[in-house]
Every structure is written in structure tokens, then in C-alpha cells.
């Protein structure tokens, strides 16, 4: 998700406007450079042996995940993060067969 600001600001003194636009540009750059702003939500079914999540739109090696939703009590943890590759992440879980939604960045 990239953010852009188009300025049509009236009624400012030129010096005030320049510093305001500079601040807005720094905010936009900080948002656009945030590595966690690109993510993909993916549904999976857990397994106590390693299970693989394949991402369709992330187009990079995943680095982080958050559990968004789970159908039952389960703990999910990374499995071999050093072997994660582009669009593929591996996880382990404490319970078999639980449907979960993961947000992977």
C-alpha cells in the first residue's frame, strides 16, 4: 500500500507552506518505507508436524506473522524460519486441524 498526497492548499504564507509540505513528505516516506505495510492474509489448517503456508501476492520472503483468527485454542510458532523462501513460510502448531488466518509480512 503506497500513500500519496496531492497538495491544493490555499491561504498559507510561502514559508509556512514549505515546512508543512516537508513534514507531509517525511510522513508519507515513513509510511511507504514501513516493511510491515505490505502483508497478505492467508487461511491455513494447523498441523503438529510442520505445515507450509504459500502466499500469492506478497512477492518477498516473509519476515513476520500475526494470528488474525483461529477456530479453537492453538499455539502457532515458526518452523525453520531460515528456510523460508519467497512466498513460502513454515509453521508448527500445538493442535492438529484448527483453521486459522495468519497475516504474514
Residue 71 lies in a domain: yes
Domain ranges, residue 41: 36-104
Residues 36-92: tens digit of each pLDDT: 668 899 999 999 889 999 999 888 899 899 999 999 999 999 988 899 999 999 999
Residue with cell 491455513: 44
pTM of the model: 0.66
- Alpha carbon of residue 5 to chain centroid: 22
Which residues fall within 8 angstroms of residue 72, CB to CB, at 6 or more apart?
A: 95, 98
**Closest by Cα among 31, 42, 35 to 104:** 42
Is residue 16, in this structure, part of any structural domain at all? no
34/89 Cα distance (integer angstroms): 20
H or E segment at 103?
strand 99-104
Instruction: Please give the tally of structural domains in the chain.
Output: 1
pLDDT-derived band of residue 20, with 50, 70 and 90 as boundaries? Answer: confident
Amino acid at each position: 500500500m503506497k500513500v500519496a498526497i496531492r497538495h491544493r492548499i490555499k491561504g498559507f504564507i510561502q514559508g509556512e507552506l514549505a515546512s508543512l509540505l516537508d513534514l507531509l513528505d517525511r510522513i508519507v516516506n515513513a509510511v511507504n518505507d514501513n516493511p510491515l505495510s505490505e502483508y497478505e492474509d492467508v487461511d491455513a489448517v494447523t498441523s503438529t508436524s510442520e505445515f507450509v503456508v504459500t502466499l500469492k501476492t506478497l512477492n518477498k520472503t516473509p519476515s513476520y506473522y500475526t494470528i488474525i483468527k483461529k477456530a479453537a485454542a492453538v499455539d502457532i510458532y515458526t518452523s525453520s524460519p531460515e528456510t523460508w523462501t519467497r512466498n513460502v513460510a513454515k509453521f508448527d502448531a500445538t493442535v492438529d486441524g484448527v483453521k486459522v488466518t495468519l497475516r504474514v509480512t
